[in-house]
Structure 1
Amino acid sequence: MFGLGAFRSTSPLSGGLLWKVPWRLSPFQKYRQRQRLRAVDSVVDTLSTALAKQGMAMKSIERWKTEMPREEEMLPRDKYTMFDRKAKRYRKGIHKLPKWTRVSQRVNPPGY
């Protein structure tokens, strides 16, 4: 009885919710991503200077400063894409990652 006349099921109706994610970031999304990266950099700088004034240091903050590149040091490829071994060229847009506005994707494998 399914698929008769005007009540034919369409692909979004039969397969569930159809997600439409564009294949690249818009300029506005790129701008907001840069602002998020800069905000994290400023928080790390503020914490490290405040601790330095009190003569203290935090291992996690010092490790972040040595291992993670700042926003201005990052290549655009690393800002807007992430490593994915299943993708054709080992990269996919950062907006394809769930909760991409909350997690840090600053470090990728070398060479990719």
Structure 2
Amino acid sequence: MFKPSSPLFGGLLWKTPWRISSPQKARQRKRLRAVDQVVDTVSAALARQGQSTKSINRWYDEMPREQEMLPKDKYTIFDKKERRYRKSIHKLPKWTRVSQRVNPPGF
């Protein structure tokens, strides 16, 4: 009835490598820097008008910039189900769209 093709025979069709590649890391750093640049641009535009928002001030207080982040925080994410409580960021669904800058301390 079913002919064993390589996807059917080998398990999952969409396999993700266990390690994030160098171009993926470079794109991740570029995305983090782009978000920093957008926040800086909005903050500068508000400052020129003599205004400020609570969310921009909170971002500067709580979120580290790309240069300040450890590689562990740039490329991995906290996951309570994982063995060492960390998994590679590319295993997260929609990892290019979700900000993952702050992880629990100590993990």
Question: So what's the TM-score if we normalise by structure 1?
Answer: 0.87
What number of residue pairs does the alignment pair up? 107
Q: Which runs of 5+ in 2 are unaligned?
A: none
Q: Aligned pair 1:31/2:32, yes or no? A: no
Measured after TM superposition, the shift of residue 60 of structure 1 is: 1.0
CA distance in 1, matches of 2:79, 2:11: 26
CA distance in 2, matches of 1:73, 1:110: 15
Match of 2:97 among 85, 93, 102: 102
Question: So what's the TM-score if we normalise by structure 2?
Answer: 0.91
With 47-56 and 11-20 compared, the bigger mean Cα shift is at: 11-20
2:13 maps to what in 1? 18
CA distance in 2, matches of 1:102, 1:54: 30
| Higher normalized contact order (CA 8 Å, seq sep 6+, divided by chain length) | 2
Cα deviation code 1:42-74 (max 9, x no counterpart): 000011011011000111111111110000000
Measured after TM superposition, the shift of residue 77 of structure 1 is: 0.1
RMSD: 1.9
Detail structure 1 runs of 4+ shifted over 3 Å in the superposition: 9-12, 14-17
Measured after TM superposition, the shift of residue 18 of structure 1 is: 1.9
- AA at the equivalent of 1:25: I
CA distance in 2, matches of 1:85, 1:69: 22
Q: Which of these two proteins has the greater Rg computed from alpha carbons?
A: 1
